[in-house]
Amino acid sequence: ACMWLVGKKVAKCKKRHTTRHHILLKLKPEVTEEEIENLLHDLRALPKSCPMIKLAEFGRQDQAIDDARSSTVGGIVEFANTSDYEAYAKHPDHLALIKKEILPRLEVNGRAALQIHLE
C-alpha cells in the first residue's frame, strides 16, 4: 500500500496501478559538469523515443547535502505496468544510452535500481 506522511498525519495515496523504476548512478570523479548535463539531457529525452514511459524525472545530487556516499544523478521512471517496464528495459534507445553515456562514466558498483509496483 502507498502511504504519504503529510505533516503529522499519514494519508493513503490515491489508487493508481503503476510500476516505478528508481535509478541512482554514482559517476567517476573525472566526469565533467558538461558530461553530467549532457547525460541528464539524454535521460530526460527518453520519453520521446520510449512511449511506454508515463513519467520521467531525473536530477543530480543536491551539492549542499552531498557526502562521499551520495550518488551523482538519479531518477524515477513510471510505467503503467510491469510489461511496459520490461519493454523499456529492452528498448534499443535505452540500451544505447546505457552503453554510450552511462557505462563509460559509471564508478565500479555505481548503479542501484529498484522496481516497485504501486497499487
Segment 28-64, tens digit of pLDDT: 999 999 999 999 999 999 999 999 999 999 999 988 8
The grid cell for 71 is: 550518488
Helix (H, G, I), strand (E, B) or coil at 33: helix
Q: What is the mean pLDDT of residues 60-71?
A: 82
Report the CATH fold assignment for 15-118: Alpha-Beta Plaits (3.30.70)
- Per-residue CA distances from 24 to 55, 68, 73 (Å): 17, 14, 6
Whether the full predicted model's pTM is greater than 0.85, yes or no, is no
- Angle at 106 (CA atoms; ends 19, 81), nearest 5 degrees: 10
Distance CA 10, CA 30 (A): 43
